[in-house]
Amino acid sequence: MTPEDLQTALARALMTAPADLVAPGSAAAIDVRPPTRPDLGDWTTPVALRASAEPEQRIALAAHLCTELRTHPEVADAVFAGPGFVNVTLTAAARARVICDIVSADRGADARSGAGQDRTPFRTLVSASDRQPAPGLRAGGRGTDVDPVAVHDLQRGHAAACRELRRAHRAGIPTADIDLATLAQPSETRMLTIMAGLPSALERSRRLGEAEPLLTALLELGAAVEEWLRRCPATPTVDEDITVTHTSRLLALRAVIIVLAAGLRQLGASAPERI
């Protein structure tokens, strides 16, 4: 479940709220972001704080939004906190759906396969990257100051993920019997959340004509991937059996490689498989 999916669900929940709770034009106030602490869930939004008709109605509106969100099968829980924040925790399957979205977007990235008709967030990220970077994001472009050291760090992270993919293939890990709901370790959930937010970061970079939002999100992803590879390798040790978790991590690894390569190309940089 991406931030865009959650924004849509929140907009519908606002429409079902009692009219006296919601200020006019409240749909424009929906902002979804990762929480400051992982124990608060996968996503948080101050929408009830901003959309309530009156300050004293913020809690009532937040409670309504939580009730509506809990009806979605992708949402494990939704709770309100503070003066009108809503914190959302996804199911493991919904959290991991981002992997399938990325792989699917990559398979259809060529315009000849109908990419122009598919406006999913990850298709936008992946499809343009093989041809040209996003407008204004190439190094030296308007408002752009891409740190070459940061780009090199991303390239090293991409190469490390490719190296792990080669190890997994040599170990004979199959590509069937996948259960993405098994990807529930803290380092995995953090990585999946950051990946889900990449299309929004790209959109902000394009709107501002500068690389910083996308570059920051990619660097966060690179750090999360590094921790994930250390704690949750896709390749089992020599005395460890191959399980459905390893096959699922193999698909996650493919998604990581796709988005890191796409992000680098959006910045006008190459994505080497070996460094």
Comparing 4-8, 10-14, 23-27, the range with the smallest average pLDDT is 23-27
Q: What is the pLDDT of residues 52-97, one digit of tens each?
A: 999 999 999 999 999 999 999 999 999 999 888 999 999 998 998 9
Mean pLDDT confidence for 88-116: 79
The pLDDT value given to residue 109: 65
Question: Please, what is the angle between helix 3-15 and helix 58-69, to 10°?
Answer: 120
The pLDDT value given to residue 77: 96
User: Model confidence at 119, in pLDDT bands (50, 70, 90)?
Assistant: low
The Cα 255–Cα 213 span in angstroms is 20
The pLDDT value given to residue 173: 94
Taking a C-beta distance cutoff of 8 angstroms, is the pair 101, 195 a contact? no
Q: Which residue has the tokens 């409670």?
A: 63
Q: Return the higher-pLDDT residue of 110 and 3.
A: 3
Mean pLDDT confidence for 234-258: 94
Q: What is the pLDDT of residues 153-163, one digit of tens each?
A: 999 999 999 99
User: Residue 131: is its pLDDT beyond 70?
Assistant: no
The Cα 266–Cα 263 span in angstroms is 5
User: Model confidence at 146, in pLDDT bands (50, 70, 90)?
Assistant: confident
The pLDDT value given to residue 80: 93
Integer-rounded Cα Rg, in Å, for the chain is: 20
The Cα 222–Cα 157 span in angstroms is 6
Question: Measured over all CA atoms, what is the biggest interatomic distance in the chain, rounded to whole angstroms?
Answer: 63
The pLDDT value given to residue 2: 85
- Burial of 183 by CB count in 10 Å (0-12 exposed, 13-18 middle, 19+ buried)? buried
Q: What is the pTM of this model?
A: 0.85
The pLDDT value given to residue 125: 87
